[in-house]
Structure 1
Amino acid sequence: MTDILGFGYAALVAAGGVMGYVKAGSAMSLAMGLLFGSLAGYGASLTSNNPRNVHVILGTSAVLGGVMGMRFVKSGKFMPAGLVAAISVMMVVRYGYRLTYKN
């Protein structure tokens, strides 16, 4: 079964990196958005083949959630850091549950 939420998360992260580059001219946002979006996409493809193979996307969303959460705390701005942190935490909960669920 295709992990639609995982692929959507990957697309959101990659699009956020592109938007950071377009709006602020930040090459680092572009590079990191594409890197983390690609890792999340790869992780989503792994979970599409095996729903318990969540390690890549779980690690990606945990790192991104932590980094963007720290940026949100420092800046106090919900967009984009707070939004990405919140969505990443939701993904960590989703894949953490899948990892620990006994079936």
Structure 2
Amino acid sequence: MAVDWISFSYAAMVTVGGILGYTRRGSVMSLISGLLFGSLAGYGAYQISNDPQNVKLSLINAGILTIAMGMRYRKSGKLMPAGLIAGVSFFMVVRLVIVML
């Protein structure tokens, strides 16, 4: 059983991003979203670590974040945090599709 460090790192990045959004801007929505999507990404990383073909939860989670943060980046034009999370989430989607195949 190999640990999927990339997926766990992604989960940590999403969670920490939500916490930072709350501490810097006072955004409760950032905190809720970061904790929710970070937790789902962490559980998905755990599932992938146990069965490398079990990518469904992680793929859906990263796909939703890619779309949501990509739209936010397009609207605001700000690389941080929307563009960064959209890019990393897109990387995760591509990676998970490759792992699935």
Structure 1 equivalent of residue 61 of structure 2: 60
Aligned residues: 100
SS in 2 for 1:51: coil
TM-score (norm 1): 0.96
CA RMSD of aligned residues (A): 0.4
Structure 1 equivalent of residue 91 of structure 2: 90
Offset of 1:39 from its aligned partner?
Answer: 0.1
Q: Following superposition of structure 1 onto structure 2, how do residues 67-82 of structure 1 map, counting pairs within 5 Å?
A: 67-82=68-83
Question: CA offsets, 1:46-86, max 9 Å, x none?
Answer: 00000010000110000001000000000000000000000
In structure 2, stretches of 5+ residues that fail to align are: none
SS in 2 for 1:23: helix
Structure 2 equivalent of residue 22 of structure 1: 23
Q: What is the alpha-carbon distance in structure 2 between the residues aligned to residue 3 and residue 54 of structure 1? A: 11
In structure 1, stretches of 5+ residues that fail to align are: none
Structure 2 equivalent of residue 44 of structure 1: 45
